[in-house]
Amino acid sequence: IHFAAHLQVGESVLNPIKYYMNNTVNTTNLIAMCEKYGVNKFIFSSTAAVYGEPKEMPISETTPTNPINPYGMSKLMSEQVLKDTASANKDFKYVILRYFNVAGASTDNSLGECHIPETHLIPLIIHAAIGKRDKIMMFGDDYPTSDGSCIRDYVHVEDLASAHIKALEYLSGGNESDIFNCGYGHGYSVKEVIDTVKEVSGVDFKVEIVPRREGDPAELVADNTKIKEKMGWRPKYNDLELICASALKWEQK
């Protein structure tokens, strides 16, 4: 299961080589070593960023890929390496999981989300709620969405983890290589996420509306029919309040 990668869209635009070196070249090296030593089942963490700004919503696995930043492209290129490797070597099988917005902390409160620097929406909002920052900045309120802010499909980290277990079982069961979206099929706007954190924390922190962040598509929501039907994925935490409350609890700890 290959999780390790760089994941900041903005950084990838400024420093594409860093992304292609780590997310594509190093992944290719890892795939080569797996092949060489007979590790023939490969689960790869990919991303909704491979779709770019899709014309259809929700996004299915057959929606055309068209990344709009080096991060998405670096992952898509690794997907291609996996596909070509599997075509050439019939023993080599992969599952590509295209993650939507992973969020929340583990339900036993042992594991949470911390990036340095932090750029992700939910941790940053939580920081505003607990006074670690003085406000949250909303990147744009002029998107063509119901309230003008961007919509994302936030998936609880334990549901994402269970998708990997399903992927292991799927490959162990002798099934064919395939690509699966991993999201709930339901989106929330930035504003709705902010309001939810205000509600679960009871803190009315400051929200500042600032211009759009470059490279942010208006809406990314998964069609998750395939992962449910073919792999039997049964998410348990499709609940924005639970996700935000778990993140808050972990941050407080």
* Catalytic positions, written as ranges: 71
Q: How far is the CB of 137 from ligand UDP (least distance, A)?
A: 5
Q: Which is nearer to ligand UDP, 25 or 137 (CB)?
A: 137
Q: Which is nearer to ligand UDP, 141 or 178 (CB)?
A: 141
Which residues would be at the binding site for ligand UDP (CB under 6 A)?
9, 101, 119-121, 124, 136-139, 150, 152, 190, 213, 216
Q: How far apart are CA 214 and CA 148, in angstroms?
A: 16
Q: In which element (H, E) is residue 129 found?
A: helix 121-129
Q: How far is the CB of 104 from ligand UDP (least distance, A)?
A: 12
Q: How far apart are CA 173 and CA 176, in angstroms?
A: 9
DSSP, collapsed to helix, strand or coil, labels residue 71 as: helix
Q: How far is the CB of 101 from ligand UDP (least distance, A)?
A: 5
Q: Which is nearer to ligand UDP, 145 or 162 (CB)?
A: 145
In the complex, residue closest to ligand UDP by CB = 150
Q: How far is the CB of 6 from ligand UDP (least distance, A)?
A: 13
Burial class (CB in 10 A: 0-12, 13-18, 19+), 44: buried
Q: Which is nearer to ligand UDP, 135 or 234 (CB)?
A: 135
- The owner of tokens 């068209």 is 66
Instruction: Please report, for the chain, how many H helices and E strands are present, in that order.
Output: 9, 10
